[in-house]
């Protein structure tokens, strides 16, 4: 999804990684960059994707051998990955949503984000305060989901009572 806006999300257009005026994200990976630093949005996303790839390829974190235990800090690592991925969604929605709409990718973005949020919610992967930049959108997605669940249940009830 981020790839659809890379032509517009440049160091000149997005000199800081943010999700609106109130949320700026600094980069630190804990190894090369220990102290959080301000970087442009494309630099943040590039660093994040490289960092995630390194995490996924690290057999100490994601063992390949059956029976090899996951590290004790596995949940913490997963939570950090999802928190940082959420920031990319926050940036896209706050800084590039009109462009996403212009490209006809709004439904795709919303669907992917909805799945992301429901997964994060199900497994408690992101602290609710971290979700603040998109809280209204998240509430709307959950409200619409609850309404459609009610409709499905009502339809299922009707189908059960039908002789056909």
Band the pLDDT of 144: cuts 50, 70, 90. Answer: confident
Contact of 60 with 31, CB cutoff 8 Å: no
Question: Is 112 within any annotated ligand binding site?
Answer: no
**What pTM value is reported for the model?**
0.86
Instruction: Report the alpha-carbon angle 24-27-28, nearest 5.
Output: 140
What domain range includes position 106? 2-157
Let me know if residue 87 belongs to a domain.
Answer: yes
**Residue 58 in 3-state DSSP?**
coil
DSSP 75-114: HHHHHHHHHHHHHHHHHHHHHHHHHHHHTT-HHHHHHHHH
Integer angstrom CA distances of residue 66 from 28, 36, 60, 62, 71:
32, 36, 13, 11, 14
Let me know if residue 12 belongs to a domain.
Answer: yes
Here the CATH number for the domain that contains residue 105 is 1.20.140.30
Let me know if residue 35 belongs to a domain.
Answer: yes
Let me know if residue 163 belongs to a domain.
Answer: no
Q: What is the average pLDDT value for the chain, to the nearest integer?
A: 90
In this predicted model, what pLDDT tens digit does every residue of 48-62 receive, in sequence order?
A: 999 999 999 999 999
Let me know if residue 162 belongs to a domain.
Answer: no
Band the pLDDT of 65: cuts 50, 70, 90. Answer: very high
Helices 106-122 and 74-102 pack at an angle, to 10 degrees, of 160
Question: Is 9 within any annotated ligand binding site?
Answer: yes
Task: Count the domains in the chain.
Answer: 1
Let me know if residue 67 belongs to a domain.
Answer: yes
In the predicted structure, residue 109 carries a pLDDT above the cut 60: yes
Q: What number of other Cβ atoms are within 10 A of residue 48's Cβ? A: 20
pLDDT at residue 143, rounded to an integer? 86
Let me know if residue 11 belongs to a domain.
Answer: yes
Question: Is 91 within any annotated ligand binding site?
Answer: yes
Let me know if residue 164 belongs to a domain.
Answer: no
In the predicted structure, residue 153 carries a pLDDT above the cut 70: no
């Amino acid at each position: 999804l981020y790839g659809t806006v890379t032509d517009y999300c440049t160091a000149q257009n997005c000199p800081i990684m943010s999700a609106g005026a109130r949320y700026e994200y600094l980069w630190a990976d804990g190894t090369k960059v220990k102290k959080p630093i301000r970087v442009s949005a494309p630099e943040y996303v590039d660093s994040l994707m490289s960092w995630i790839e390194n995490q996924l390829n690290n057999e100490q974190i994601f063992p390949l051998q059956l029976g090899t235990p996951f590290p004790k800090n596995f949940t913490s690592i997963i939570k950090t990955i999802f928190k940082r991925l959420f920031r990319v969604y926050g940036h896209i929605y706050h800084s590039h949503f009109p462009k996403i709409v212009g490209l006809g990718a709004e439904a795709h973005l919303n669907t992917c984000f909805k799945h992301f949020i429901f997964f994060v919610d199900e497994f408690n992967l992101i602290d609710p305060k971290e979700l603040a930049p998109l809280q209204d959108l998240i509430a709307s997605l959950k409200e619409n989901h609850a309404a459609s669940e009610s409709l499905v249940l009502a339809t299922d009830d009707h189908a059960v009572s039908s002789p056909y």
